[in-house]
Amino acid sequence: MSSITRPSGSQPDKCVGIPGALRSLDDLAVSQRRVLVRLDVNVPLAGSRIADDGKIRACLPTLTALLERHAAVIACSHLGRPAGRPDPKYTLRPVAARLGELLGRPVRFASDVTGPRARACAGSLKPGEIMLLENLRFSPDETSEDDEARAKFADKLAALADVYVGDGFGAVHRRHASVYDLPARLPHAAGYLVLAETTALARLTGRVRRPYIVALGGAKVTDKLPVIGALSAVADEVIVGGAMANAFIAALGDPVDGRGEAGGQLPAADCLAAAKKGGADLLLPADLLVAASKSGGGPVHVARADAIPAGQLALDIGPETAALFASRIATGATIFWNGPMGVYEIPQFAGGTRAIADAIARNPGFTVVGGGDTAAAIRGLGFTADDFSHISTGGGASLEFLEGKILPGLAALSA
């Protein structure tokens, strides 16, 4: 498909996802003070083992800077969805251990959130020391829709510290107590990760270098419908793979079995209309890897996207599609990728994701990888942060930012 050359006047002059200027932690007086840092270390776990520590590594610059400036650091985060009560499956204790290994210093762990152990640990913390609170979501008030309940929980968190730094970009689209309510109670600023994220993502919505190629994968069409509409007005080409591509193919009249969400055909049809209205070319798979089961134990075949045999599941893009997508990515000056191209966890169905990652890594332009699954996939396939201009830690947050939404956590930090 041909690319569209847009006049510069059609590009937005600023990103509407940031309501005002974000103060940096460099602007805060932190020496000898207790600094509460909201992180996003919502890492994937395999039992008690951390399967991917990318989010922990991403917060190291902020934590290291605070410790070197003689702050007493009280870190906090959520992990998983523990339903507002303590659950050993979602404890942050393994994160504290890994964080200590990466920082090269002990990380004290409070086994409650705002209770006596947290208060005692925070009260005895010395400058240059760091502690981690237990999972914020062990309290139902962290995610409560009741403003008063969240406010009371934020008061308890604020009582632990003198200063607040928001560095959990993956949570800034949530109106949660530690993200939205807490900054108003303490002197506050954005951490280095949040500043890096907003700077990189803003480059995808403003005066981008062209051609601008967007590659989208994953399973849920409904999650990406708004961003497809927004990016279609800015991008030159939108490439769609992964299980969500099945819904697009079905919307064109060719039913496909796979991992796509139930009822995805209707939002996919809306996406097709949005892309057409926005002016971007939409590129769908020509062939797919199919098998009777996603376990990877049986025969795998290549099938045309419009002729999937009955009883077969589409589990990855096919070789022709992988080559086509890679060739289109090679032409781009700006690339944004969110969502794997197949069931990358199984080696037989990781080829499409690897091909996209390799094409983007080879591209000398400005390249952004967004989404937790995508970041975990590329690290699992052997790619590193040096292979891309920016790897976002926020899945939903990065997509909502690119939609142009005002994100509650960023609004609170800029107030």
pLDDT tens digit string along 328-338?
999 999 999 99
- Is residue 245's pLDDT more than 90? no
Question: Tokens standing for 116?
Answer: 């006596």
**Residues 189-204: pLDDT tens digits?**
999 999 999 999 999 9
The predicted structure's pLDDT at residue 255: 55
Please tell me which residue, 197 or 47, carries the higher pLDDT value: 197
Across the range 121-146, mean pLDDT stands at 98
Overall fold of domain 199-403: Rossmann fold (3.40.50)
Express each pLDDT in 265-311 by its tens digit. 556 677 677 666 667 788 999 999 999 988 877 899 999 998 888 88
| Least confident stretch, 5-9, 109-113, 135-139, 307-311 | 5-9
Amino acid at 401: F
Residue 16 is predicted with a pLDDT of 44
Query: How large is the average pLDDT for residues 386-410?
Result: 93
Spatial separation of the C-alpha atoms in residues 283 and 325, rounded to whole Å: 8
Q: Which amino acid is at 171?
A: A
pLDDT of residue 335: 97
- The answer to whether 5 touches 393, Cβ cutoff 8 Å, is no
Q: Which of 164-168, 243-247, 320-324, 360-364 has the lowest mean pLDDT?
A: 243-247
For residue 77, give every residue at least 6 positions away whose Cβ sits within 8 Å of its Cβ, in sequence order, or none: 38, 39, 40, 41, 42, 92, 95, 132, 135, 136, 168
Helix (H) or strand (E) holding 163, with range, is: strand 163-166
Look at residue 5 and tell me whether its pLDDT is greater than 60: no
Contacts 24+ apart (CB under 8 A), 383-388: 383/357, 387/357, 387/360, 387/361, 388/360, 388/361
- Is the pLDDT at 207 greater than 90, yes or no? no
Mean pLDDT (the chain) is 88
Give residue 254's pLDDT: 57
**Which DSSP string corresponds to 219-244?**
S-HHHHHHHHHHHHTT-SEEEE-HHH
Closest-CA residue to 370 (of 137, 205, 233, 126): 205
Q: Which 8-state DSSP code applies to residue 258?
A: B
- Of all residues in the chain, the percent with pLDDT exceeding 70 is 88
What separation in angstroms does the CA of 372 have from each of 170, 258, 326, 353, 369? Answer: 9, 21, 22, 14, 9
pLDDT on residue 253: 64
Element (H, E) at 199: helix 192-202
Q: Which residue type occupies 99?
A: L
pLDDT at 260: 46
| Cβ–Cβ under 8 Å, residues 349 and 296 | yes
Place of tokens 């390249």: 367
Q: Cβ of 272: how many Cβ atoms within 10 Å?
A: 18
Q: Omega into 211 within 30° of 0, i.e. cis?
A: yes
Higher pLDDT, 246 or 54: 54
Those residues whose C-beta lies under 8 Å from the C-beta of residue 1, and which sit 6 or more positions away, are 237, 281, 283, 328
Tell me which of 63-72, 156-165, 358-367, 368-377 is least confident: 368-377
- Each residue of 334-369: pLDDT tens digit? 999 999 999 998 999 999 999 999 999 999 999 999
Q: How far apart are CA 50 and CA 91, in angstroms?
A: 12
**pTM for this model (two decimals):** 0.87
- The helix (run of H) or strand (run of E) holding residue 56 is helix 54-58
CA distances from 63 to 12, 71, 165, 180, 192 (A): 34, 9, 10, 21, 9
pLDDT at 92 over 50: yes
pLDDT greater at residue 8 or residue 137: 137
Assigned architecture for domain 25-190:
3-Layer(aba) Sandwich (3.40)
Q: Is 178 helix (H, G, I), strand (E, B) or coil?
A: helix
Q: In this predicted structure, what is the pLDDT of residue 262?
A: 46
CATH 3.40.50.1260 boundaries in the chain: 25-190, 199-403
